[in-house]
Structure 1
Amino acid sequence: MYDVIVVGARCAGSPLAMLLARRGHKVLVVDRATFPSDTVSTHYIHQAGLSRLQDWGILDRLVATEPPAMRHLTFSYTDIFLEGFADPIDGITEVYSPRRTILDEILVDEARKAGAEVVEGFTVTDVIFADGRAAGVRGRIGDGPEREFTARFVVGADGRNSTVAGLVGAEIYRSVPAACFVYYSYYDGLDWTFQHRTGFGQQQLGAWPTHHGQHLVAVMRRKERMREFRADVEGSFHEIIDQVVPELGEDLRANGKRAENFRAMAYPDNFYRRSAGPGWALVGDAGYHKDPFTGWGITDALKYSEVLAEKLHEGLSGSRPTDEAVEEYTKIRDAESNGTFELTCSLAELSLTPYYDSVFRATSMSPEYTTKFFGLIAGGIPGEEFFAPANLERLYEDVNMPADRRIVTRS
């Protein structure tokens, strides 16, 4: 019997398994994929996420694979323009956007090195229950015979369409409709810095360097325009870039060479699922999912897998009831992620509310507050501090924002 079975071995599951195994717990990780393998992702890791990798002693291993370091970011919201970078967070002065074929393989390998057992190519078909508690999983590798593994605790780290969540009956208790769809691909021949540009007409361009000298280039539009987009994917893709940042559209046509097929991200609604129950928990996108607009998926997976690992250790070591400890993990996650969730859901509408328009417009006129903006985005400055009414009042005063444009509280 294992102490913990983790279903899903990517950015939430492998770190959780690694951290538990380092504490001496017997851990099994299963995943239907085999590694290295790719997955739909925009790859971005904020400084706050890199800080977790640094603390775990594996950031240097990622950096050694030579993902391009980014130290200058450009954001725009129609006619509001912000560029710069956050102050260091735990000494980290750059961000990376590694390919998932590389990042996930490192994380799986680190789980193995820590002592976790990893079974790849394993599809879970059922969660075993005993005395009303999750007590293991059933599944198979390919067309092989069904196998059964038992454990004191089961964790679903298997993504937004989590099989474990469905099998344990984890209901969604907070949901915000998804506003947009995303298409992206990888391009050779570009020399762009990080770009996150929202244009008129509710459309967005994102681009940043990744491994192999390539750039990930993504576009977003409102979901109601998806059929129109699909009628001519290549043409629509270029049309959005041409309209949002014409000079980048021109450069892409002249110098960019698409290296892979387009990938679509038609995300489900943003949600929180119940993520703790008798003998089970959910982590990563399985329990808490939001639009990719703010790029917080990987960072949150790393951050909250560490919180869950700590709470599971408390329970498994006998210092407190396991279910009680894991329930505390969900409360911490919900409280700490709420600001990111709300900001993401609002910005992903691709049109600023009067409140955010007022705040970001004033921010763009203040070098000091622009740095704070990037600190907010990077996870170094709490939203409660950035958006505090007293701080916004000072910002508006410093930049001489007209009185009728000053909004200090969300309506």
Structure 2
Amino acid sequence: MYDVIVVGARCAGSPLAMLLARRGHKVLVVDRATFPSDTVSTHYIHQAGLSRLQDWGILDRLVATGVPPMRHLNFSYTDIFLEGFADPIDGIDATYSPRRTILDEILVDEARKSGAEVLEGFTVTEVIFSEGRAAGIRGRFGDGPEQEFRSQFVVGADGRNSTVAGLVGAEIYRSVPAACFVYYSYYSGLDWEFQHRTGNDPQQFGVWPTHDNQHLVAVMRRRERLREFRADIDGSFQEIFDQIDPVLGDDIRANGKREENFRAMSYPDNFYRRSAGPGWALVGDAGYHKDPFTGWGITDALKYSEVLAEKLHEGLSGARPIDEVVAEYTKIRDAESNGTFELTCSLAELSLTPYYDSVFRATSMDREYTTKFFGLISGGVPGEEFFAPANLAALYEKVDFPADRRFLTKS
């Protein structure tokens, strides 16, 4: 009998299991994958996410794998250019984009070292209910016989297409249609800083360094252009660079060498699912999923797995009823993630609203506010502060932004 069974052992599940096991709870983690293994991902971890790894004693281990630091970021939205970096967060002055084969294996290993039991290659087929509450799981290794494990609580950390969410009937209560598709691969031969460039048409490319002296190179276009893109993937991929920044387009053509096959990301709609019920909860993309444009998936998985771990510990220790306290986790997550969700959904349209155009255009004219912009991106500056009407009014006055182009509120 386990205290908690966690289904899914990647960026949300393993940290949750690790944190609970460190508190003395008996935890089982299962995943249908075996590690190390890859998965579709932006790879990017913001400073706010790295801060969690640092607090857990994992960041140094990740850095020691040779993942390159990034300390200068380049953003553009058509003719608006923002370059720089955020102020340190908890002493962290860099960001990293590790390969998931490396990051996830570290997280799984840390869960094991902390005392959690981890079963790899195990596929869940059923969530067991007893007296109306989730009470365990059934599943199997490969084609083997079905096995059953019992627990006080079950958590689905199994991604946006969560099996657990389907088995417990967790409905989506907020949804925003996905706007774009993504293709990406890994290139050697590039000597580029982080690039996140959105151009007319609309379309976007992103490039950032990862392990093995390679860069993750990604492009985005609107979904309605997917068939056209697929007709000539190599040509369409190159075309986006040529149209947004011909200099970088020439460089990737001359010096870039694609090292792996292209990977396609055609995500489902952005959503929030009901993420707590009698004896169960959802964490990571299983409960809250958004477009990869802002790269917040890993960071949010780390952040809210910690929140859920605290609430589960409180309930398991008998301080308060466990379902009651876990319901608070969803309220915290929804409140704290709302700004990121809304910003991501808007920016992922690949065309700025008049409001965001005016804010980012004025921001690009002031070094101090540009640093705040990167603080917003990194998780160090709250959206309520960055977008506060009084702060924006002061910015517009400082940079002498035309009055007829100011939009002090989103409405």
Structure 2 counterpart of 1:94, one-letter code: A
Determine the C-alpha separation between the residues in 2 that align with 1:126 and 1:387: 45
- Taking the aligned partners of 1:153 and 1:246, their CA distance within structure 2 comes to 54
CA distance in 2, matches of 1:202, 1:268: 20
Instruction: Give the equivalent residue in structure 1 for 2:225.
Output: 225
Q: 3-state SS of the aligned residue for 2:374?
A: helix
State TM-score, norm by structure 1: 1.00
Cα distance in 2 between the residues matched to 1:323 and 1:217: 43
- Counterparts of 1:277-292 in structure 2, within 5 Å, are 277-292=277-292
The aligned counterpart of 2:191 is: 191
Structure 1 residue 324: Cα displacement: 0.5
Counterpart CA distance in 2 for 1:94 and 1:135 is: 42
Cα distance in 1 between the residues matched to 2:345 and 2:220 = 14
- For 2:307 and 2:116, locate their aligned partners in 1 and report how far apart those are by CA, in whole Å: 18
The within-5 A match list for 1:131-146 is 131-146=131-146
Q: Tell me, what secondary structure is at the counterpart of 1:119? A: strand
Shift of 1:338: 0.1
Shift of 1:110: 0.1
Letter in 2 for 1:203: Q
1:4-403 mapped onto 2 (5 Å cutoff): 4-403=4-403
Inter-partner Cα distance in structure 2 for 1:204 and 1:20: 40
Tell me, in whole angstroms, the C-alpha distance in 1 between the residues paired with 2:335 and 2:287: 14
Tell me the matched-pair count.
411
3-state SS of 1:39 partner: coil
SS at match of 1:29: strand
> Which string of whole-angstrom CA distances, capped at 9 and with x for unpartnered residues, describes residues 214-259 of structure 1?
0000000000000000011111100111111111111111001100
Residue type of the alignment partner of 2:12 = A
Mean Cα displacement is larger for which, 308-317 or 238-247? 238-247
State how far apart, in whole Å, the 2-side matches of 1:347 and 1:250 are.
Answer: 27
Give 1:62 deviation, angstroms: 0.2
4+ runs of 1 displaced by more than 6 Å?
A: none
Indicate the SS of the match to 1:65.
coil
Residue type at the aligned position of 2:286: A
Deviations 1:232-287 (A, max 9, x none): 11111001111111111111110011000000000000000000000000000000
- Whichever residue aligns with residue 306 of structure 1, its letter is E
Summarize deviations over 1:3-33 as a string: whole Å, max 9, x none: 0000000000000000000000000000000
> Taking every aligned residue pair, what percent have the same amino acid on both sides?
86
Distance 2:377 2:186 in 1: 24
> In terms of mean alpha carbon deviation, does 310-319 or 245-254 score higher?
245-254
Report the Cα distance in structure 2 between the residues aligned to 1:160 and 1:21, rounded to whole angstroms.
25
| Distance of 1:218 and 1:361 partners within structure 2 | 25
Aligned letter for 2:407? I
Q: Which amino acid aligns with 1:342?
A: E
SS of the counterpart of 1:217? strand
**Structure 1 residue 115, shift from structure 2 partner:** 0.1
RMSD: 0.3
Tell me the residue number matched to 1:409. 409
| Gaps in structure 1 of 5+ consecutive residues | none
Q: CA deviation at 1:88?
A: 0.4
- State how far apart, in whole Å, the 2-side matches of 1:62 and 1:127 are: 34
Give the C-alpha shift of residue 330 in structure 1.
0.1
One-letter code aligned to 1:287: G
Deviations 1:118-145 (A, max 9, x none): 0000000000000000000000010111
Cα deviation, 1:320-353, whole Å, max 9, x if unaligned, reads: 0000010000000000000000000000000000
For 1:28 and 1:146, the matched residues in 2 are separated by 17
Match of 2:380, SS? coil
* Residue type of the alignment partner of 2:206: G
Q: 1:341 aligns to what SS in structure 2? A: helix
Give the counterpart letter for 2:37 in structure 1: S
Structure 2 stretches of 5 or more lacking a match? none
For residues 209 and 301 of structure 1, what CA distance do their matches in structure 2 show? 21
SS of residue matched to 1:90: coil
- Which amino acid in the other structure matches residue 376 of structure 2? L
For the residues of structure 2 that align with 1:246 and 1:311, how far apart are their CA atoms? 51
TM-score by length of 2: 1.00
- Per-residue CA deviation, residues 37-82 of structure 1 (Å, 9 max, x unaligned), is 0000010000000000000001000000010000000000000000
- 1:304 Cα deviation from its structure 2 partner: 0.1
Give the SS at the match of 2:36: coil
Q: Distance in 2 between matches of 1:409 and 1:399?
A: 18
**Cα distance in 1, alignment partners of residues 389 and 174 from structure 2:** 27
3-state SS of 1:212 partner: coil
Measured in 1, the distance between the counterparts of 2:174 and 2:61 equals 37
Q: Secondary structure at the match of 1:125?
A: strand
Amino acid at match of 2:307: V
